[in-house]
Amino acid sequence: MTESSVQPDVGTQLAGIFRGHHVADLTLALDETLPCTWPGHMPYRATVWTWFADRPGDPQPVHPRCGTEYQTRFLVVDEHTGTHMDAPSHFVPPPGSGLPHAGPAGAISAADVPLLTTSGPAAVIDVRGLDGQAEAGHSPAITPEHVTAFEATHGRLRGGDVVLLRTGWDARYRPGPEGAAYGADVLTARRAPGWPAPTPDTVTLLKDRGVTCIGTDGLSMGPAEGGAPVHLAGLPHGVIFVEALTGLDSLPPRGAFFLFLSLRLAGGTGAPGRALAVLP
């Protein structure tokens, strides 16, 4: 066997891919000043546990613990904070519970979702033109026709494709009072239209194409007026949702490879994670 015939190991191949291509980070930053949680849910909090030295004069005094010379914080975080995935158990009650829509998918938590379900060739469907095309507190509908129009230009979707819905909603993810436009103005004040969201028929069409992961840069896959029908069109049938992405404007309609890895939360109805795309 000649040296040239020896195949590089997987790690070397992966390193070559990442070095030879641009990698786009599609993950929202988490900070207490940002609207990273669903309005009305447990807010994100990061609290200093120990610091390098005494800070007794702070509004919340901080002291070194056990002679430590490092800093660390503890987090309070909802499972659906920032860029995250929805596990089937988010909307599907457990089997045997006797509740409506209960079934086997209700036993699938974030830790149970197969590792590469949320990865694959990206098909980025641009629906930014829908922004604002609904009444306050409601979302404009992403219909099956938006999918078939994309396919007419970029080719039919294939099993294993990850469909990413580019709504442009992430532009509203801003710190301070301006961040109310991301969620609170729609869901709490109900004074603005919501993010574009697919209809149940759209999710069913994508499922029938063999798509097992759909992502959006909107706040949720479901519309502002109620997310259950959309989630139930996908989650019980092997379709996983990745929500609250950002930076989809950096991706071409076809050609990028999408990867999302969540925290492995046992029993989790969802889990935050890191989303990225390897560009051609």
- Domains of the chain plus CATH, in order, are 5-41+79-278 (3.50.30.50), 43-76 (no CATH)
The neighbouring-strand residues paired with 121 are 257
What pLDDT is recorded for position 118? Answer: 97
11, pLDDT greater than 80: no
Residue 243 and residue 102 in contact, taking contact as beta carbons nearer than 8 Å: no
Pairing of strands 254-262, 119-126: antiparallel
What pLDDT is recorded for position 269? Answer: 98
CA-only gyration radius of the chain, Å:
21
- CB atoms near residue 179 (< 10 Å): 17
What pLDDT is recorded for position 4? Answer: 46
d(CA 193, CA 208): 30
Mean pLDDT of 220-226: 98
What pLDDT is recorded for position 5? Answer: 53
Q: 256: closest CA among 160, 167, 124?
A: 124
- Rounded (10°) angle between helices 144-154 and 200-208: 40
Please report the DSSP string for the chain in residue order: --GGGSPPPHHHHHHHHHHHS-EEE-B----TTS--S-TTSPPPEEEEEE-SS-BTTSSS-B--STT--S-EEEEE--TT-SSEEE-GGGTSPPTTS--TT-SGGGG--GGGS-TTTTEEEEEEEE-GGGTT-S-TT---EE-HHHHHHHHHHH----TT-EEEEE--GGGG--SGGGGGGTTHHHHTS--S----EE-HHHHHHHHHTT--EEEESSS-SS-TT--HHHHHHHGGGT-EEEESB--GGGS-SEEEEEEEEE---TT-SEEEEEEEEE--
What pLDDT is recorded for position 65? Answer: 73
* Low-confidence winner among 64-68, 104-108, 158-162, 253-257 (lowest mean pLDDT): 64-68
Give just the sign of the alpha carbon dihedral 218, 224, 226, 229.
Answer: negative
What pLDDT is recorded for position 51? Answer: 85
d(CA 151, CA 269): 32
pLDDT digits (tens, 9 = 90+) for 56-109: 888 888 877 777 788 899 999 999 999 999 999 999 999 999 999 999 999 999
What pLDDT is recorded for position 280? Answer: 87
